[in-house]
Amino acid sequence: MPGHPHVARRDGNLYVEGVSLDALAREHGTPLFVYSRQWMLDALAAYQRGFAGRNALICYAMKANSSLGVLRVFAEAGCGFDIVSGGELSRALAVGADPARIIFSGVGKTPAEMKQALAAGIGCFNVESEAELDVLNEVALAAGQRARISIRINPNVDPKTHPYISTGLKGNKFGVAHDRAVAAYKHAARLPGLEVVGIDCHIGSQITDAGPYLDAMDKVLDLVEAIEAAGIRLHHIDFGGGLGIDYNGDKPPAADALWKQLLARVDARGFGDRQLMIEPGRSMVGNAGVCVTEVIHTKPGEDKNFCIIDAAMNDLPRPAMYQAFHAIVPVSERATDATIYDVVGPVCESGDWIGRDRALAVEAGDLLAVLSAGAYCMSMASNYNTRGRAAEMLVSGDSARLIRRRETVQDQLLSEQV
């Protein structure tokens, strides 16, 4: 299946690696997220090929999918982790991540989270404002430590993606403005609780063109020259993540081909000796996952036909949030004519749709697979309408393992009191 080499049909039925989705759904219920371990390792391998022979650290951006079973795959494969909260730090440590290979990003780190990360011994804070420099300095001094930092630069480069996932334009909340960078670094170098070690840039997500990366890289390398001319040595250069995946015929460059092109620019600018860091997320897990859901009803209408499924916007929030496209295919094929449906969930919102105008031959009780559901689905899932979060399975070859049991109403009520 295009973009999903570990999802294939056998005798008309859909499999992830060697495991039948129909069998998993019948045993574990729906909605059900199913992830291919091999797809994740193949995605990581493309980055590893791109950085072969380099002093480089690949940090998985765990906001894309922070389920412990997924994190363990990357921890065992030698990844570092990019975190954006104290909760994510706890998850990374729970799967045995090396704290020295953890980078803490995010615009709103609290003093408590800073203290937690310092106590854990993380590798670096990616600082996103001049005010944060001062707070982190105070927290580090109170703890009797020095915090290793890089400053995230906002290069004002258009990543040509959805505005909600664009992070490198001057109107975005992220990073320090390009023209304030040198002053911010001078200020950081004067603070006794901080140790300046690098520079960071991340311009957005679901980027399918190498051009924005090259533009941002040139701006960052210009700043490295200016910062070092001011007497501040930078040991690493962090180029972030954001590489897109194939949702609907998208054609992003392969990770190894992209980094061959980008590293040629780094070498040409004379910075090939520096440690390089990147923080891929979506491209490591997005196409590894499918969400299996059951058709509750089909509902003909005057203007629209609806296929109502048991997965909803609380399980698969990307269409409601970003008008995002996910391919939707039957788990078992029917030899009947297709009807054009809007595929919708049972949540009481008109925004609760998963796909518009899809040609499907389905009946109540059939199973559908929502593809490319490995990133920003379970990690953004909610309990809206008091719906429990779905179960998750990790497939490796011919075996499947439950990595998250289905959440019950009792689970939800446990932390509440009348």
Identify which has the larger pLDDT, 174 or 408: 408
| pLDDT at 172 exceeding the cut of 90 | no
Q: Report the side by side order of strands in the sheet with 7-10.
A: 7-10, 13-16, 19-20
pLDDT (0 to 100) of residue 175: 74
What is the Cα–Cα distance from 325 to 250, expressed in whole angstroms? 11
Q: What angle do CA 161, 167, 170 make, to 5 degrees?
A: 110
Six-digit token pair at 92? 């990374």
Please tell me the CATH code under which domain 105-280 is placed: 3.20.20.10
Main-chain phi, psi angles of 254, to 5 degrees: -65, 145
- Average pLDDT over the chain, rounded to whole? 93
pLDDT (0 to 100) of residue 166: 42
Annotated binding site for pyridoxal 5'-phosphate: 242, 279-282, 376
Annotated binding site for substrate: 282, 318, 322, 349, 376
> In the chain, which residues fall in CATH 3.20.20.10?
105-280
Q: Please write the tens of the pLDDT for every residue from 295-331.
A: 999 999 889 999 999 999 999 999 999 899 999 999 9
DSSP 343-406: EE-SSSSTT-EEEEEEEE---TT-EEEE-S-SSSSGGG---GGGPPPPEEEEEETTEEEEEEPP
What is the Cα–Cα distance from 98 to 321, expressed in whole angstroms? 34
**CA-wise closest residue to 238 among 155, 171, 166:** 155
What is the Cα–Cα distance from 323 to 353, expressed in whole angstroms? 9
What is the Cα–Cα distance from 101 to 113, expressed in whole angstroms? 17
Using the 8-state DSSP alphabet, how is residue 332 labeled? B
Q: Which helix (H) or strand (E) holds 298?
A: strand 289-299
Six-digit token pair at 189? 């170098």
Place of tokens 């689905």: 377
For the chain, the C-alpha Rg in angstroms (whole number) is 23
Place of tokens 């990581």: 44
> In the chain, which residues fall in CATH 2.40.37.10?
7-36+286-413
Using the 8-state DSSP alphabet, how is residue 165 labeled? G
Six-digit token pair at 307? 């296929």
- Give the CA-trace dihedral at 283, 63, 170, 266, to 10 degrees: -50
The percent of residues above 70 in pLDDT, for the chain, comes to 95
Q: Which long-range contacts does 302-307 make (Cβ < 8 Å, 24+ apart)?
A: 304/342, 305/339, 305/340, 305/341, 305/342, 306/341, 306/342, 306/343, 306/344, 307/341, 307/342, 307/343, 307/344, 307/358, 307/360, 307/362, 307/368
User: What is the residue type of 366?
Assistant: D
Q: Please write the tens of the pLDDT for every residue from 324-366.
A: 999 999 999 988 899 999 999 999 999 999 999 999 999 999 9
pLDDT (0 to 100) of residue 178: 82
| pLDDT at 168 exceeding the cut of 70 | no
What is the Cα–Cα distance from 74 to 192, expressed in whole angstroms? 35
| pLDDT at 154 exceeding the cut of 90 | no
Burial class (CB in 10 A: 0-12, 13-18, 19+), 119: exposed
| pLDDT at 411 exceeding the cut of 50 | yes
Question: How many C-beta neighbours within 10 Å does residue 90 have?
Answer: 12
Please tell me the CATH code under which domain 7-36+286-413 is placed: 2.40.37.10
User: What is the residue type of 74?
Assistant: F
Main-chain phi, psi angles of 300, to 5 degrees: -70, 145
pLDDT (0 to 100) of residue 237: 95
Annotated binding site: 242, 279-282, 318, 322, 349, 376
Place of tokens 């909340």: 173
Q: Which residues are marked as active site?
A: 348
